């Protein structure tokens, strides 16, 4: 246990597994109080029980970030449970991958409702309190898909590009109010989502090996490596970092593959 986040009351979305779970664990280690949400209430309950945090340090509620009124209610509940929220980590997101002309309206809507509107719903719920308290920190978990395009992943990268736009826009609008808004862009991370993706191929092991081989270091990130970067960005150790996007991808997005 360390004290880099003592005094932080953090709302984390999509905390039941993956990056959100690792972020929750690392923030707890640094002395933060957390209120975590996930649309999978049962998995979230199991996760929170397993984490076995000290009393009052970790509270939770089932909530879907695409539902603005559910998020407003969860933010109010968070305020009651851990005190006014002064840090938000917009982590929950979903893969919606298709080819542009094969994408249905339902897929398009679902992608933007969760990956963009969901983050905005949480910002909208937290910003008034941060502004009246004189400041706060928001971190949006973006992706290398926020500035690159992998064919056949449409429309996910469009929403992630827009999430970066939301980050920059809110960062400038509320900088004078003391609110910092930044983005963290992981590349491939060892999560269930990626395991499911590799499992969708005829030879999952081969698909996984090919992903690893794409990377300069021949491996992908652990969720803890992403979470440690999130701790830094949400802490008071980088007070002038605003409207920034920190890329944590092992160098993948800089690498130009030989043709
Ligand atoms: N895994 C990667 O390689 C990777 C890379 C770059 C960016 N990201 C981003 O990181 C974030 C987390 O990804 P992950 O891989 O840990 O995902 P994950 O699927 O392992 O976990 C996501 C969690 O979010 C929850 N969730 C999904 N939709 C929700 C909603 N509408 N409301 C509330 N909760 C919801 C899920 O139930 C799940 O528990 C996402 O925004 C993703 O786009 C992931």
Q: Convert the pLDDT of each residue in 71-119 to its tens digit.
A: 999 999 999 999 999 999 999 999 999 999 999 999 999 999 999 999 9
Distance 166 CA to ligand 1 centre (A): 18
Q: Annotate 204-240 with b (16+ C-beta within 10 A) or e (fewer).
A: eeeebeebeeebeeeebbebebbbbbbbbbbbeeeee
Which of 60, 156, 174, 188 is flagged as catalytic?
156
* C-alpha torsion sign, points 227, 43, 107, 115: negative
* 3-state DSSP assignment of residue 21: helix
* Residue 197, pLDDT above cutoff 90: no
* pLDDT score for 257: 79
| Test site for ligand 1: of 67, 93, 163, 222, most ligand atoms within 8 A of the Cβ | 93
- On whether the CB atoms of residues 92 and 47 are closer than 8 A, the answer is no
Residue-range domains of the chain with CATH: 9-191+222-249 (3.40.50.720)
Distance 141 CA to ligand 1 centre (A): 9
- On whether the CB atoms of residues 124 and 88 are closer than 8 A, the answer is no
Q: Convert the pLDDT of each residue in 108-159 to its tens digit.
A: 999 999 999 999 999 999 999 999 999 999 999 999 999 999 999 999 999 9
Strands 136-141 and 97-98: unpaired
* C-alpha torsion sign, points 102, 108, 114, 119: positive
Q: Convert the pLDDT of each residue in 165-195 to its tens digit.
A: 999 999 999 999 999 999 999 999 999 889 9
Residues with CB under 6 A from ligand 1: 13-14, 16-20, 38-40, 64-66, 91-94, 114, 118, 141, 143, 186, 188-189, 191-194
Residue 46 tokens, joined: 């199991």
Q: Is 156 a catalytic residue?
A: yes
End-to-end CA distance of the chain: 48
């Amino acid at each position: 246990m360390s004290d880099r986040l003592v005094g932080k009351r953090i709302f984390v979305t999509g905390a039941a597994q993956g990056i959100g779970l690792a972020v929750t664990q690392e923030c707890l280690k640094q002395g933060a109080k957390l209120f975590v949400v996930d649309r999978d209430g049962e998995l979230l309950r199991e996760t929170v029980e397993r984490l076995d945090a000290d009393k009052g340090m970790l509270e939770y509620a089932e909530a879907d970030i695409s539902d603005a009124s559910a998020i407003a209610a969860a933010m109010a509940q968070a305020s009651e449970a851990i005190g006014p929220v002064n840090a938000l980590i917009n982590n929950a997101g979903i893969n919606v991958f298709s080819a542009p002309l094969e994408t249905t309206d339902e897929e398009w809507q679902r992608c933007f409702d969760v990956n963009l509107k969901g983050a905005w719903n949480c910002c909208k719920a937290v910003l008034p309190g941060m502004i009246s308290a004189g400041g706060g920190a928001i971190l949006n978990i973006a992706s290398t898909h926020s500035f690159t395009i992998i064919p056949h992943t449409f429309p996910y990268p469009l929403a992630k590009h827009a999430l970066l736009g939301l980050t920059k826009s809110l960062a400038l609008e509320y900088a004078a109010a003391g609110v910092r808004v930044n983005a963290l862009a992981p590349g491939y991370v060892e999560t269930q989502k990626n395991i499911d993706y590799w499992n969708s191929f005829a030879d999952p092991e081969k698909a996984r090996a090919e992903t690893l081989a794409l990377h300069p270091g021949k491996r992908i990130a652990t969720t803890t490596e992403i979470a440690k970067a999130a701790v830094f960005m949400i802490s008071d150790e980088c007070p002038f970092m605003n409207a920034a996007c920190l890329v944590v991808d092992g160098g993948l997005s800089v690498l130009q593959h030989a043709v």
